[in-house]
Amino acid sequence: MVVPYEGQSFSALRRQCQQKGVLFEDPLFPTNDQSLFYQSNRIGSVTWKRPKDLCSKPHLFVDGISAHDLHQGQLGNCWFVAACSSLASRETLWQKVIPDWKDQEWDEEKPESYAGIFHFRFWRFGEWVDVVIDDQLPTANGGLVYCHSNDSNEFWSALVEKAYAKMCGCYEALDGGNTADALVDFTGGVSEPMDLVANGFKEDKEKRNELFERVLKVHNRGGLISCSIRATTAADMEAKLDCGLVKGHAYAVTDVRRVRLGHGLLAYFRSDKLEMIRMRNPWGEREWNGPWSDSSEEWKKVSKGERENIGVTVQDDGEFWMTFDDFINNYTDLILCRLINTSYLSFHKTWEEAVMRGSWRLSNDPLLNRTGGCTNHKQTFLQNPQYVFDVKKPEDELLICLQQQDRRASLRGGRGENLAIGFDIHRVELNRTYRMHATQEKVGGSTYINSRSVFVRIDLKEGRYVILPTTFDPGLEGEYLLRIFSDVSSDCKELILDQPPKTCWTGMCGYPVLVTQVHLVQANGLAGQDSGGVSDPYAIIYCEGQKVRSPVHKGTRSPDFDTKGLFYRKKAKQPITIKIYNHNLLMDSFLGQVTMPAEQGSFQQMLHLKGKGNSRDSDLPGTLTVAIITSTALTNI
């Protein structure tokens, strides 16, 4: 589904202009300083001109679309231009951002059909937004002020930049931004920022090899990639290093591959290939001058056919190759934007997606407040929104992305600041259906940052989890979008109720007075001499007609169950039963059970299993470790 930005319909507006014989002038993004700056003009006199005023035969594209079409103008938006460079190399992606591009092109045979109006699409906050603009572009001294192409009569890059500036509030909103955000806006994918220094890729060759495989996979599956060298001081920004690279500057990754070494037929039988990566500087100049740079001697090791195949050019066009090892040694930050495949018809991995929209809303009632802040604020942290999800495989890789509404364009008096956001993940009881009122086992989470989105890729074992999206400080309101991608559907849903609801049957059937958490820790030596070897045990916890079943533990007599159940109890003195079974293909065999007393408080006990687990119907020689943690009365929640 595509949503028109501010209700502007491209087809309706173009039709009106064609019928009236006029060129479109966008009332929502006028040709004045309001569309250029937050507060005051910083670049001097600006004249808005249409492409036909700048050249005789304007075109959207000249000889197709390419990363070389983009050159950064008088804006610190290399992050946006780098993302555009990546986009230009992916036909299926840019055709989504630039819809109906043939229809939008200038038609020299039908000049009367041209209405000076264009539209482009960006993915924002869970939906594709169609942004309409007129073709009036800011110029100074007869040339475009901002993004422009090598060809003076090609305008797709300048027009895409204008549409993006309109969506962000003004051109100045693009001065200093996040490449990860732009990559998501162009694709609807998820961006994973990676710190190449902190993660130890320089020192660990095995980790470096794993990273190359991941980067190659993202590239081969149509994802977009960007990289940069971190600037630690203001003086470092845009500083050129001796190797030709520039600090604090976003580069687009335009190719990743293994390059075949050698010449002639023998090259095809050689096993050695060089792991290489190609990048482009949005300035269109200033390149890497080390090994494997455009004119270096190393390229003599590669056949002419192979050089032509990978597009090696000897010119200062801003694009260059380097080995992956040199890349790791010089760059500090990498952004991988994955395209999330949810199609069951694909040959590649298919992800299951859960999308949750929510808001941080302030209330004086602790049970209704949803602005608790991060875990540093222990008194209010659990007042945040809570979402429960299941991992149904023994282990699953999850991609989790939390995004907030962009606030940079929200304040006309100056740049709006995004909230510092993040999330925590807690492993909880397998049957939890109500909100947490005590923290559980934290198994992961994100860093807190005031960017539009935060991302975590994490491996979790089978079980139930609660994720809490939060702002860093309590009491801050805002909208957010939470996306969880897993191999098997996670059945994610928001926990809204604090406790079981009262119904018309409550007076007759009773209402819970106590909340009990049972933690089944582990068992040891489950099989006796007469009962055979136990290989696949599992446990079931029973309490007042409710039950919680642990996962099956394959091939062990001493499983670490680590299974929790939560029971809302009407009869506080009724005991709790735990039964152990061995999983079989035809019929599961009963191994024994224990009955736990129902005293309040916290304790841990070693108990012998009783049951028909062996031929003498006596105690099994195994033991079970169980912890019962009984909370305060339900009325105290």
Q: Which residues are identified as catalytic?
A: 78, 249, 281
Tokens 């173009």: give the residue. 14
Quote the tokens at residue 153: 């009569």
Tokens 């002419």: give the residue. 304
Q: How far apart are CA 217 and CA 166, in angstroms?
A: 34
Give the DSSP H or E segment for 279: strand 273-280
Beta-strand runs (E) in 229-299:
250-260, 273-280
Q: Let me know how many helices (H) and strands (E) the chain has, helices first.
A: 12, 27
Contact 607, 597 (CB under 8 A): no
Which phi and psi (to 5°) does residue 342 adopt?
-115, 10
> In this structure, what DSSP letter does residue 10 have?
H
- Chain centroid, CA 603 distance in Å: 41
Give the DSSP H or E segment for 171: none
Q: How far apart are CA 544 and CA 568, in angstroms?
A: 9
Contact 564, 519 (CB under 8 A): yes
Quote the tokens at residue 206: 């095995």
User: 97 in helix, strand or coil?
Assistant: helix
**C-alpha closest to that of 138 among 77, 43, 47:** 47
Beta bridge partners of 405: none
Contact 139, 31 (CB under 8 A): no
Cβ partners under 8 Å of residue 169, min gap 6: 38, 408, 409, 410
User: 436 in helix, strand or coil?
Assistant: coil
Q: How far apart are CA 467 and CA 389, in angstroms?
A: 8
Q: What is the CA radius of gyration of the chain?
A: 31
Contact 450, 404 (CB under 8 A): no
Query: How does strand 2-4 pair with strand 127-134?
Result: parallel
Q: How far apart are CA 383 and CA 372, in angstroms?
A: 5
How many beta carbons lie within 10 A of that of residue 19, not counting itself? 9
Contact 481, 353 (CB under 8 A): no
Contact 326, 455 (CB under 8 A): no
Q: How far apart are CA 471 and CA 358, in angstroms?
A: 13
Q: How far apart are CA 172 and CA 36, in angstroms?
A: 6
Q: How far apart are CA 376 and CA 397, in angstroms?
A: 27
